[in-house]
Structure 1
Amino acid sequence: MNISDVLLTSAQAHQQFSCCLWDYNTLNVHKYYKNGGTTAPKCMEILGRDYILTSELGKPLLHLWLLNSQDVAKNVRLIIPEPANCMAVCPQNIYLAVGINCKVYVWHMSSGKLLSVQQKNYQPVMAIKFSTDGDFLLAGGQDGMLINYKLCDLVAFSSNYSSQSDIGKAEPLYIKKDHSMAIKDIHVGIFERKARFATVSTDRTCRIYNLLTGEPILNLVFGDCLTSVLFDTSFGQLYVGTESGDIRQFNLKEPPKNLTHHVDDKSSLVFAGHTGRIVSLALNTTETVLASGSLDCFVYTWDVKKRQILKKIKHPSPVTNARFVIRYKNFFAEAIKPHVIVKGLERSLDLAKDLVLSQLQTDDLEIEEDEFDLSEEQSNKDILEENVRLRAVNKQLFDTAVTLSKKMYQKLKL
């Protein structure tokens, strides 16, 4: 019996719970997380070992729970400009990215500062994911466009060389327009910059790319609209959820010779059981159990090797999220001292506020008043101006280093 992880789920009816923590071996409920409304699909995240963060369906609200508490944290009010379509937290638990309508918003969580607002998609952003090292942010839209941003560009502070209209904006690393219909899900593999990622769309294709370059590796064409995607850590097995409720498994260890491959019953395995659209797929830590959430109100756990249903978890309404979570001690602790800091989120870009200095207690300083002729106000103004100048210089140095590294990379390739 696997006790290293637990299963966290959510459903559309929130009268009983917003999220629920399960022992997926015994189907015992460890904890209900309440009073957060209906958790929107692709909007349920774990912050370190401290919090659960969700977005409420149809409302511009995020909700936060301590892992050991069933009540929403009341000391932090998280209001966003509009209801979220999807969201993701970087692996270091520093930045929060949210897809809202056609835009991607990025916040610094410990200060609540809004750092970036991007609008490259022409239709709503439907899926958003960080790479496992947190260096890249992928966004897929209803228009079929996939956009890869470098996180360092999204969170770069303003400089003397940025016009007001350019503040908070960044050019993507690349844009892919291969899908002809909406992108429904994105999965990013491990191996950081050398990772691969997969996208699925209602155009019935699953496309696999190189993360750093965007080079296409494989295009799989299925016979049904695709709604979810996942592959294991070794990039050996691919799982896609469909509109009809079937889950297709494709062996990536024996890839086809052609870039485009039409997948039939002979070249894929089927997990059959659901009667509604698959909305979520997840593998446990040992990759022996697959969890699937569906609009048929069930979460199934499957034996990966045998493709047999292990448990059926009935929900009061269609499922919106299902994911495995490491069994942290904080889930069952009486008290938690959070390491992750979360502040209220700003709703507008004002990067000038970034240059705020901590106030020192005068009791801690032994300075003679005669040593300074400048007033405190003038002194602070000079420090802020010097801070702005240094940020501008650092930005130039960073851009130069990136340019040189790209040139060196191209030479090495040749």
Structure 2
Amino acid sequence: MAAPMELVLSADATGQVANCTVWEPVTGSVLLTYRGGNTSNRGLAVLGGQYLLGAQLGKNYINVWELQRRDQLQQKIVCPGPVNCLATSPNGLYLVSGIAESIYLWEVCTGRLLAILNNHYQDVTCLTFTDDSSHIISGAKDSLVLVWSLYSVLQVETSRGPEPRYVWSRHSLPITDVQCGIGGPQARVVTSSLDQTVKLWEICSGDLLLSVLFDVRIMSVAFDPAEYHLFCGGSDGVIYQVDLYATPEQRERPFHPEQEMVFKGHRNQVTCLSVSLDGSMLISGSHDETVCVWDIHSKQCLRTVAHRGPVTNVFIIPAPGNILRAESKPSFPLPHFSKHLQGAEGCEGPESGGVILRLGKQQGSRENTYLQRAEQLQSLLGESEGKNLSGLVEQLRSRTSELEEELNVVRKINKDLFDFSARIITKQ
């Protein structure tokens, strides 16, 4: 048999047979299995065509397999808390994960934790990169979608936290999926929510291009490669096809199932969708414990692959050249991943092995040189002579403790208000 051009990766919530299974979409033949634990929803990713990453369901670590070694776990990335979702940059340089309401960004080559983004108010549910790795898009239970410029995140001053490029707040209930088209900073982004809408955005302007209202909650979305159509997985098990170039063009419109295309076959909510590179096949995973392969033109189900539990992840990828060669090795080793932020000027902590090099800022915004910063530090140290430093430290610790208590109270109030509002809105 000729080497496959595309492969499907799928995982379910039980992990009884395997954590992840790799199979051929045309024949359904299982080619590889990766064992050990089970992966959370939107917690499966391929890193640089060399490693498979899976966020362990309900645990504070990420399983790592070499793509060629199948059943053998290579290592575990220990995280500060349970990982809700994760994504890897297409260039293989960065790993990002959602932990509670925070987003953690690591540099793959060094394992350094570069940034912690805390602009969401509820748990992060989904993450994705643009195809040129220049932006991160995050969605959360707080109904917000944030667009982060990776350059801005890495260049932010330590005195203030990173700020997103855009805050899209047009959804009213938790975000269920975020997908990005092609084009880097010119790409379009589609988001789905429990508020029964799917929205199309433009990164370059931040504008809302389209909002489609459904009769059911939308749990997953996917573009076709040409971005002519949008596929939306409903909580009723139906997949809805939205024509993005329908005439007349309307910014807000309802979806009419009797007039537009639908895929029927699943018996429970559709949790994940993916389209083949040539746009001919649609892959869908559902809580009915099946993965379906659809012919997009005819809307017919070509193949159904049974699982042992609700499907949490499924996507189709170009077949890496060495994935079926068990004797081959990754071209780069994975380092130890840090759980704590480290200084950008040098090495901090025993696991540090080098210096982070970052791109210079824009011309016109001059940054102090190393000698200037040293002079400033010496000046500050001179001013502090004669002061009771121990008393100052105690005051700062006391004030920090008070602020942390106030912040916890505010977070609890915010969560209670959000949960109460969600119950009122969804009450039938």
Distance 1:122 1:332, change over 3 A: same
2-structure distance, mates of 1:149, 1:6: 30
Q: CA deviation at 1:339?
A: 2.5
Once the 2 structures are TM-superposed, how far is the Cα of residue 50 of structure 1 from its aligned partner? Answer: 1.2
Aligned to 2:62: 62
CA separation of 1:399/1:246 partners in 2, compared to 1, >3 Å: closer, same or farther?
A: farther
Provide the residue aligned with 1:3 in structure 2: 4
Q: Which residue of 2 aligns with 1:346?
A: 338
Q: Is the 8 A contact 2:65 2:72 kept in 1?
A: yes
Displacement of 1:49 in angstroms is 2.3
Structure 2 residue matching 1:153: 3-state secondary structure: helix
Asked if 1:324 corresponds to 2:292, the answer is no
Contact 1:47–1:340 (CA under 8 A) maintained in structure 2: no
CA–CA separation in structure 1 for the residues paired with 2:12 and 2:221 = 20
Q: 2:336 corresponds to which letter in structure 1?
A: G
Give CA deviations for 1:253-301 in whole Å, capped at 9, x if unaligned. Answer: 2254331101112442110010111111001121111000000000000
Structure 2 residue 95 is matched with structure 1 residue 96? yes
* Cα distance in 2 for residues equivalent to 1:308 and 1:398: 58
Contact 2:225–2:275 at 8 Å: present in 1 too? no
Residue 42 of structure 1: aligned partner: 42
In structure 2, C-alpha distance between the alignment counterparts of 1:203 and 1:31, rounded to whole Å: 38
**Cα 1:400–1:206 shift into 2, 3 Å:** farther
**1:14-413 to 2 correspondence within 5 Å?**
14-35=15-36, 37-74=37-74, 76-156=75-155, 162-163=158-159, 166=160, 169-352=161-344, 354-355=346-347, 394-395=360-361, 397=363
SS of residue in 1 equivalent to 2:21: strand
Gap change, CA 1:58 and 1:248, over 3 Å in 2: same
Native 8 Å contact 1:93 1:340 kept in 2: no
Give 1:122 shift: 0.9
TM-score by length of 1: 0.82
Whether contact under 8 Å (1:206, 1:220) holds in the other structure is yes
Higher relative contact order (CA 8 A, sep 6+): 1
In the alignment, residue 58 of structure 2 is paired with which amino acid?
A: G
Amino acid at match of 1:25: V
Q: Could you tell me how far apart the structure 1 residues matched to 2:232 and 2:332 are?
A: 33
**1:176 shift after superposition:** 1.1
Give the conservation status (yes or no) of the 8 Å contact 2:290–2:304.
yes
CA distance in structure 1 between the partners assigned to 2:114 and 2:35 by the alignment: 30
Q: Judge which range, 254-263 or 136-145, deviates more.
A: 254-263
Distance 1:209 1:63, change over 3 A: same
TM-score by length of 2: 0.80
Measure, in 1, the Cα distance between the counterparts of 2:27 and 2:213. 37
Q: Is the 8 A contact 2:68 2:329 kept in 1?
A: no
Q: Assess if the C-alpha contact under 8 Å between 1:63 and 1:72 holds in 2.
A: no
Shift of 1:116: 0.5
Change (3 A) 1:341 1:275: same
Where does the alignment leave 5 or more consecutive residues of structure 2 unmatched? 349-353, 368-428
CA separation of 1:298 and 1:2: change in aligned 2, threshold 3 A: farther
Regions of 4+ moved over 3 Å: 352-356, 393-401
In structure 1, how many angstroms separate the alpha carbons of the residues matched to 2:298 and 2:332?
A: 40
Aligned length: 361
Say if 1:50 and 1:336, in contact at 8 Å, map to a contact too. Answer: no
Once the two structures are TM-superposed, the CA of residue 334 in structure 1 deviates from its matched residue by 2.8
Q: 1:263 to 1:348 in 2, by over 3 A?
A: same
C-alpha displacement of 1:27: 1.9
Q: Distance in 2 between matches of 1:56 and 1:255?
A: 45
CA RMSD after TM alignment: 2.3
1:77 and 1:344 in contact (8 A); partners too: no
Maintained 8 Å contact 1:106/1:154: no
> How far is 1:350 from its partner?
1.7
Cα offsets for 1:217-272 (capped at 9, x unmatched): 00111111000011112220110001111000011122543311011124421100
Asked whether the 8 Å contact 1:62–1:78 carries over to 2, the reply is yes
| Contact 2:20–2:34 (Cα < 8 Å) also in 1 | yes
Q: Name the CA distance, whole Å, in 2 between partners of 1:249 and 1:2.
A: 31
User: Could you give the per-residue CA deviations for residues 346-378 of structure 1, whole angstroms, max 9, x where no partner exists?
Assistant: 11112257458xxxxxxxxxxxxxxxxxxxxxx
- Does the residue aligned with 2:284 lie in a helix, a strand or coil? strand
Give CA deviations for 1:84-141 in whole Å, capped at 9, x if unaligned: 1111111110011101110111000111100100111111111111011111111111
CA distance in 1, matches of 2:18, 2:209: 41
Q: Which runs of no fewer than 5 residues in structure 1 stay unpaired?
A: 357-383, 402-414
Which amino acid in 2 is paired with 1:11? D
Task: Report SS of the residue matched to 1:143.
Answer: coil
